[in-house]
Structure 1
């Protein structure tokens, strides 16, 4: 069993990696062509794209967002015709939110730009280094997920 100083050293290493990765993602965001969407808004679009129809409460839980903040984001998406809402057939108190065709197309273009930017960064690595990186990321997800 490890002692407290070993655990603290490891926790500091995780924090250091987190700072590095946030910085990397921030630089990546800067390299993506200008978008009117914040990272949080992009996360909401991604969650709607991957999860189909959802309630605002489920989205807030999944993304750990304040419900008021999410409400403002969803209102903005509604004004831009990116989302639509439909009352539940089972429980009229529940309203489902889903991406419209415009919302899906908008998210697809954001995703394509992000993938293109990351592909450029990955091209600086050899194929073996790319596979090593992906393997390490899979290990992180498996151990912390």
Structure 2
């Protein structure tokens, strides 16, 4: 088959699939949101704290159209934007509590709509359909395989055990922490799962693989503690630590915490650099000989949220 024939067949498929997408837009979202608006809401949910430019470039949306979508979502209290703590020229997008309800409703409608579309497709043909979709995605994304998809999302069932595993593996391999440290992490995470009031735990995913985490727990009415901040060393330098930190600090502002503190150790140089970058100040030091058998210096770092716009 010559090149022209390939082009014709691809264009023919595109025309057909465009009609399928139109049907999804009309029937699934029931005219509440266009398919593009729903995709924007989904992107903001998955990439909590992303910018409008990030969403526009990732989805291939016209600048003017993107601006109108964002304005509508803000007007309807679905999204809010906050000035970046690092770059005052940038604004990060987040779903409001109402926006999260809208997203969940969209997911429910979409699932119901797709179920309706495939209800009469034989199982053998359905398997073939899904496999073909996977083939299209795999072939098309080979050119951009080096561009990793980074997602920061709230934790869900099954994540907490893996977060404990990440801590145990990293701190044992790199810093020679013993099993007592892993127990300390697991104990804290278990307590958080039993009572997460006033807090949240997020994970960072790269191409659907968990590579890091961060959490905020409530210490008092006005004070929060930043905990379980970890990033797989193989994924450093990709801006993931920054995304995790800004997600956590935005949550603190949203919950009106006036003060945030954290505990770390003096040997975690990359983490300490990031804390300084976000204006945390070293306020306390104490020795620790439990985790490595040698003397470590634990450090408390504090941040006054009242000075952050």
Q: Is the TM-score greater than 0.5?
A: yes
Q: 1:134 matched to which residue of 2?
A: 130
Map residues 85-100 of structure 1 onto 2, 5 A cutoff: 85-100=81-96
Map residues 1-145 of structure 1 onto 2, 5 A cutoff: 6-32=2-28, 34-145=30-141
Q: Which structure is richer in relative contact order (CA contacts within 8 A, separation 6 or more)?
A: 1
RMSD: 1.5
Deviation at 1:67, TM superposition (A): 2.2
C-alpha distance in 1 between matches for 2:63 and 2:26: 28
Cα deviation 1:71-125 (Å, max 9, x = unaligned): 2211111111100111111111111011112112112211211211111121111
Q: Normalising to structure 1: TM-score of the pair? A: 0.89
Count of paired positions: 141
Structure number having the greater helix percentage? 1
Structure with max Cα Rg? 2
Cα deviation 1:20-39 (Å, max 9, x = unaligned): 11112212333226232122
The unaligned stretches of length 5 or more in structure 1 are none
Confirm or deny: 8 A CA contact 2:56 2:66 kept in the other structure. Answer: yes
